[in-house]
Amino acid sequence: MTELKSYKVWDAPTRWFHWIAVLCVIALAALGLVILNAGAFKIPNEGKVLLKTLHVWVGYVFALAIALRIVWAFVGNHYARWRQIVPGGRGYLASVRSYTAAFAAGRPQHYLGHNPLGRIAVAVLLLLMTAQALTGLVLAGTDIYFPPFGHWIAQWIAAPGVDPATLVPYTPEMYDKTSYADMRAMREPVATLHLYGFYVLAGMIVLHIVAVIVTELREGGTLVSAMFTGRKIVPQQPVDASSPATAKKRGLKP
């Protein structure tokens, strides 16, 4: 009879980041797609400003969550740290080969943290989300003059005699035409990166969800529920399980 064991893996900040990121990505994607198709929906300028404002505020939450997760990767528990996220290190390629061979043979290896392939996915997702947050902050300044770059952008494009603090989106009479054209030229590659970065991120999220479902079914673990409870229940000794002494030193609980 297979003996199931429960292990404490994901600490609370890691779980909170995961679900906050999920909610933010859903909200940002929905708002972004409406903004992108504002012409087709015949949304007036006032409506576009409102949508962009909501998009930016959700983006602030998203960016803050990412920043905190990056910090937490230095100070969180063992499984939240960079060594458990970034692929690489001694024996990493061997662990990839071993994991994929065992998975294909129907004898999957169990990991408490991210498995070798999961580390690649998590690292790519974190990189893509960081890029989206950074480009989004730039666009927030160019579109509706929000922090952290909005004040500088407004000063750049305000027409002579116009107080930059009073600048309003979609009011060309308030802009210096040459400066505005230069700003839009600067903005274009950032907007392109933000747009196509979203498509790549969406594709990676779909792959991530499919991989989690397949792994959950194949391994019989508790990948999804662990992101709610923090505990993984596995039917065999995990490859990356710590010895009792090491686990006690790291503050982990079996």
pLDDT digits (tens, 9 = 90+) for 86-100: 998 889 999 999 999
> What pLDDT was estimated at residue 137?
97
Contact (CB, 8 A) for 11 and 230: yes
> What pLDDT was estimated at residue 2?
57
> What pLDDT was estimated at residue 219?
77
Domain layout of the chain by residue ranges: 5-248
Which CATH number is 5-248 given?
1.20.950.20
pTM value surpassing 0.85: yes
Mean pLDDT over residues 8-21, rounded? Answer: 96
Range list of H helices, the chain: 12-36, 45-75, 92-104, 116-143, 150-157, 177-219, 223-229, 244-250
Contact (CB, 8 A) for 124 and 204: yes
Checking if the pLDDT of 245 tops 50, the result is no
Checking if the pLDDT of 195 tops 60, the result is yes
Checking if the pLDDT of 248 tops 60, the result is no
> What pLDDT was estimated at residue 89?
87
Choice among 11-20, 26-35, 59-68, 237-246 with the minimum mean pLDDT: 237-246
Contact (CB, 8 A) for 233 and 222: yes
Rounded Cα distance, 43 and 11, in Å: 43
Rounded Cα distance, 128 and 144, in Å: 24
pLDDT tens digits, one per residue of 53-82: 999 999 999 999 999 999 999 999 999 999
